[in-house]
Amino acid sequence: MIDRSLTLRLLSASTLTLAFAQPAMAQDTIDSSDSEATGAEQADNGALDVIVVTANRREENLQDVAISAATISADAAQTIFDAGADVTALAARVPGLFVESSNGRAAPRFYIRGLGNTDFDLAASQPVSVVQDDVVLENVTLKSFPIFDVERIEVLRGPQGTLFGRNTPAGIVKIDTTKPGDEFAVRGSASYGSFNSVAIDGGVTVPLVPGVASVRLSGLWQQRDNWVDNGFTGQDDVYGAYSDIAGRAQLLLTPTDRISILGSYAVRDLDGTSTLFRANILGPGSNDLNENYDRDTVFYDAGAGNQAQYDAEIATVKAEYDADFATFTSITSWANSEGSSRGDIDGGNVVFGPGPIPFPSDTRDSIVLDQFTQEVRLASNSGGMIEWQVGGFYFDSDFDVTTVGFDLAGNVDFPPSTTVNHTNESWAVFGQVTGQVTDLLKLTGGVRYTEDDKDFFVRDAADPQARSVSDERISWDLAAFYEVSADASVYARVASGFRAPTIQGRDVAFFNPPSVATSETIMSYEAGLKSELLDRRVRFNLAGYYYTINDPQFSAVGGGGNLVQLVNADKGRGYGFELDSAFQITPDFLITAGASWNNTEIQDENLLVGVCQPFPGAPVHCAVTDPTVVVDGATRAFVDGNPFPNAPEWIADVSARYAVPVSSDGELFAYTDWTYQGATNFFLYESMEFNSDNQIEGGLRVGYAKFDGSLEVALFARNITDEDNVKGGIDFNNRTAFVNDPRVIGVSVRFQH
């Protein structure tokens, strides 16, 4: 078996050594679209750059695609990750997108248009799919794979079931990394900041045989020192550290003009601190942080250091053959993820809290996962009056999740260690056709048939509690795109989608049977305007949407048993809008702005869920605002009419860059970016404490950049105003929550050739 840790370190070290050896060789031959000069969009002769997306599995101008989509450029992504942030930093970077995690850097939860899943278990199913280099990363631990040496990130809003499969009723986050080319190329970034934060990201392309073979090596190293004290034990600087190392090697072979083969192998090694829960820092009776909160201190009597260690590897082979009339594509991929995380769940100690803690809690979860996917696709070559594609997809995953319960009796292995197995096999066939009906009108239609099977059992148990679920569905979409003028177009789209049935077995570790949720189905309606005005100096894209869901899958989390229980509500609905805009005020002054408003509602008069109560008969420890009823000594809340959990009503982002030329080849610049997250309810039920509102977070970069993008040196700050923003709650046995990262100030260098 390959020594993954050794391979990772050799790959990362060789990549970063090659990258950092090259800045002196940089010449003035950089494509302006690759320059750092905007952080978001690069002006070309005073106009905004064309944004390329692959929403239809082929490269197209964003302004010509009948879908609500937004992109995050390579430079904007680099700015977001300057201080070593993980993928949750993508939250609110484009309208409609939210990301959070209660599992540290290991298991992010994605939401688009309010649709997501609050399930904290490593077996969680999500309605937002993450696709990296055409490979779906289904499990939450794979979705956390670091983003580095990236070409662009696309956010496709609304169901994408035709071309990207099941489990996409909310949308897709599509990550495309930089590929090998025919010429030598290097790009790198290094930053250092507060808490000894280091972020190094580099990639280098080396042609082996001109026009026939080339390789690209990419590497990432992010690290931070411990900076949080344990006030219970009196230890200083014992939490908050991480080391996240990743590498990727790609080999591109083009033996003929018709054949292209791209092989990729990526690895990751994470060793860090899991999420720091903080006991009783909310309320009571409000969502304000109280006197128990201290950003620099926690008060743990358990958790064994809140350690998290995860490894992952992804191997992919993409082969293409150009047959004149169409291109045949095959994508084969295998992925593996292994790791564990442990934490003090109650966020404090039973001696003095802070606040009341009825019993200590300490939980450890681990996973061993294998995933295999195979896709074949035949697509007509672009440029004709009719474009089409057909294909097939196969998915297979097998993983074990082990849960070790909290310490109730002086033995950390109580309840006993429990391992459950999940398998998922799915296959699909799909097709899409786009026709240029007139010079101004374009129609697109697609359909997909999917079968999905899941099995579950408990390993090494007298009662394996086996469960099996399956479903088969047809997903479809239809869109019309009409060019009103040379500067503006309108479109309309109707799309269906579904999320396959799900089994959640974490409760078995706490002496409860597994829970099952049936398929959820969505019907989405969308209409929009896309425009580029004033000689492409202004971009203004607006979309409005309305969707209904039958049998939406929700996760009732926390409560008296720190459990995860799947439930199907009767119905759900959502509506709102998304606005994406950019303004090239002058060649040296660019502003981008986006906003989304999202109204969601659970529609089920009979749905009851547990609330913030440590055990039946104990007092409820938060101010529940929903109607409640007592069932078998436990308080339950009616959630009909509530918003979806972790569905911000408002999301907004803005960035601005202003530059002053100081020489014939360079300029001084200032770049700032800000996000806003509006009212957000954390759980299915509503309370005075477990929600957040009116959160802002901003960044700043000030420095010198060459016009050709070959070099940039800057001072930066992330969370520049040092906001204390609550990102989620734990309602297990107190009013526990977790918060955002602190302010980081540092210096960065970027270069490319």
Instruction: Please give the pLDDT value at position 562.
Output: 61
- Give the separation between CA 572 and CA 547, rounded to whole angstroms: 8
Task: Taking residues 87-100, report their average pLDDT.
Answer: 97
Q: Is the pLDDT of residue 247 over 80?
A: yes
Beta carbons within 10 angstroms of residue 213's beta carbon: 16
Domain 4-752: which CATH number of 3.30.930.10, 2.40.170.20, 3.40.35.10, 2.50.20.10: 2.40.170.20
pLDDT for position 33: 34
- What angle is formed at CA 430 by the lines to CA 426 and CA 433, rounded to 5 degrees? 165
pLDDT at residue 406, as a whole number: 65
Each domain of the chain, given as residue ranges in start order, spans 4-752
Give mean pLDDT, residues 109-125: 95
Mean predicted confidence (pLDDT) in 255-280? 97
Average pLDDT over residues 405-431: 81
More confident call, 226 vs 26: 226
Q: Give residue 11's pLDDT band: very low, low, confident or very high (50, 70, 90).
A: very low
Query: What digits encode the pLDDT tens for the residues 720-740?
Result: 999 999 999 998 889 999 999
Q: pTM of the prediction?
A: 0.93
Q: 94-98, 155-159, 534-538, 557-561: which has the minimum mean pLDDT?
A: 557-561
Q: What pLDDT score does 465 carry? A: 94
pLDDT at 48 over 70: yes
Q: Which residues pair with 432 in a beta bridge?
A: 389, 446
In whole angstroms, give the CA distance from residue 444 to residue 481.
8
pLDDT value of residue 23: 39
Is 64's pLDDT higher than 70?
yes
Phi-psi region of 195 (alpha: psi -120 to 50; beta: other; left: phi over 0): left
Using one digit for the tens of pLDDT, what is the confidence trace for 22-37? 433 333 333 333 333 3
What does the pLDDT average to over 488-499?
97
Residue 590 has pLDDT above 60, yes or no: yes
pLDDT, residue 560, reads 59
Count other C-beta atoms under 10 Å from residue 13's C-beta.
14
DSSP string, 11-69: HHHHHHHHHHT-GGG--S---GGG-TTSSS---BTTBPPPPEE-TTSS-EEGGGSSS-E
* pLDDT (tens digit per residue) in 305-363: 999 999 999 999 999 999 989 999 999 999 999 999 999 999 999 999 999 998 888 88
pLDDT band of residue 412 (cuts 50, 70, 90) is low
User: 10 Å Cβ neighbour count for 254?
Assistant: 18
Residue 7: predicted pLDDT: 47
Across all residues in the chain, what is the average pLDDT? Answer: 91
The separation between CA 17 and the C-alpha centre of its own chain, rounded to angstroms, equals: 29
% of the chain exceeding 90 in pLDDT? 83
Q: How confident is the model at residue 108 (pLDDT cuts 50, 70, 90)?
A: very high
Distance CA 165, CA 365 (A): 29
Q: How confident is the model at residue 71 (pLDDT cuts 50, 70, 90)?
A: very high
C-alpha distances out from residue 107 to 21, 529, 553, Å: 35, 35, 19
